[in-house]
Amino acid sequence: MGKFRRVPVGIVGASGYGGVQLVRLLMDHPEVELVYLGGDNSIGKSLGDLYPHLAHAANLPIEAVEPEIIARRCEVVFLSLSNGLACQIAPTLLEKGCKILDLSADYRFSNLTTYTNWYGIERSDRSTAATAIYGLPELYRDRISEAQLIGCPGCYPTASLLALSPLLKQGLIVPETAIIDAKSGTSDNGQPAKTNSLFTEADNSIAAYNVGRHRDTPEIEQICSDLAGHELTIQFTPHFIPMVRGILATVYATMRDPGLVRDDLITIFSAFYRNSPWIKVCGSGIYPQTKWANGSNLCYIGLEVDPRTGRVIVMSAIDNLIKGKAGQAIQCLNLMMGWDETLGLPKLGFYP
C-alpha cells in the first residue's frame, strides 16, 4: 500500500485577513499540507505571534518572499497580497511549475489596459496574464480545472455576479438596466485598518463609498459583458455597515418578459445552479441574511418580482472572507487538482 501524500501548499501574504482565513481552512483540508507562510513585514515572527489564537494549531514562521525557494517547497501557492505585488512573483512561480491562486486583482482582467486604468499599475507580464482564468467556479468550472493560474474574484463581484448570471445568461433582463446595491462588513477593508472601518467610524452608521468609481466595477462589467455577449456598463454602489463579516448584494433589473413571476425565477435559478453545491436558492418569500452564510463557503440567493415596476430583485448573501475570498480560492484549488469541489470547506455558517 502506497504512502499517503499531501500536496505541499504555501501562502504569500499570510498575515492579512485573507491569509488567516486560508490558514484556518487549509489546516482542515485532507489533501494538503501547509508548508510555507510568507510576508515581508513580519519576517521572523511566528503566526502565533501575530494571531495568538492560532499558536496551538499552525505556529509556522513567517519567511521572506523568495520565489525560487517557495517553488522548491510548494506545488501550490496562494498569493494574498496587495494589488500590484502578485504580478511581480507569479511568472517565476509558474515557470517553476507551481499552481497559483491569486486573491488580488492582478489576474482578474483579460484586458490589462482596464486594470492599469483603474488600479494605476503598469504591467510587464502580459503573456502570463493572458493564461489566467477568472476563478468563479459556478461560471467557469471547466476552465478552472485545466488552469495553472487563477485570478480569484473580489467579494463584491462574487456576490453580484452570482445574482446576475442566470438573468444575463438566459436573456431574462434588459442588461443595461441592471443596478447593484451592495453592503459589506468592515473586514472587506483589510489590514491595516483604514479610517472608515474603525469602530468609532463604522458603528451605528451606514455609508456609501467610492460611488461611481469603485475598482470592482470593471471586474463586474467584464463578466457581465461576457455573459450578455456585448459590452455592458453596470451601476454599482458599495456601502459599509457596522458588522465584521458578510456581503449582501441587491440587484435590480427590468425584465424582458413582464409575465414572469417569482416562482418562475426560482425554478430558473435552481436549474442554473443545479450542479453548484455552494449556491442555495431560497424558497418563495424567503430573503437571505448575511448571518446565514457567515463562516461558510455558501451563497444564499433570494428572488422577488415587482409587477408594478416590471423589475426583478435578486438578493445574494455571502461571507466576504470565505466565499468572497479564501474559501472560493480553495474551491478553485479543488477543481484544479481534480478533487471534490466541497473538500475542506465549511458547509454551514455560524449561527446565531
Please identify which of the residues 87, 98, 155, 299 carries the catalytic annotation.
Answer: 155
Active site residue 332: no
Q: Is residue 286 within 8 Å of 215, Cβ to Cβ?
A: no
Report, as residue numbers or ranges, the catalytic residues: 155
